[in-house]
Amino acid sequence: HKYLWKKDFFLFLKQIDVFEQKLKSKSITGLFPDYRGHDEVNQCAQYIKEKFTSLIPKNMPKSKRIYTHRHHGHQSIDSMKAGPVQRSAASNR
């Protein structure tokens, strides 16, 4: 959409602790057959981030950024404090 063309994106990987538990009994290759890494939470989360960023058109403005934030637990995004998100954004610059 033209209004999103110059906007940054935040990718929230929520309930990463639940994801980690599920990886102990089920591989992500069922959802991502091209995944070749181990079923380890950091590798899998990185792969998902890369899949997401690969969907961005190559002609997107260079100033556009995608920030990721991994969140443990069941806290809603609305109730999260801005601090962790801001730190995540700052570390991705």
Q: What is the CA radius of gyration of the chain?
A: 15
Distance between CA 87 and CA 24 in Å, rounded? 29
Q: What is the pLDDT of residues 22-33, one digit of tens each?
A: 999 999 999 999
Looking at residue 55, its pLDDT comes to 78
Does the reported pTM lie above 0.75? no
Domains of the chain by range and CATH? 9-91 (3.40.50.300)
Q: What is the pLDDT of residues 67-77, one digit of tens each?
A: 788 777 655 55
DSSP annotation of 70 reads E
With pLDDT > 70 as the criterion, what percentage of the chain qualifies?
66
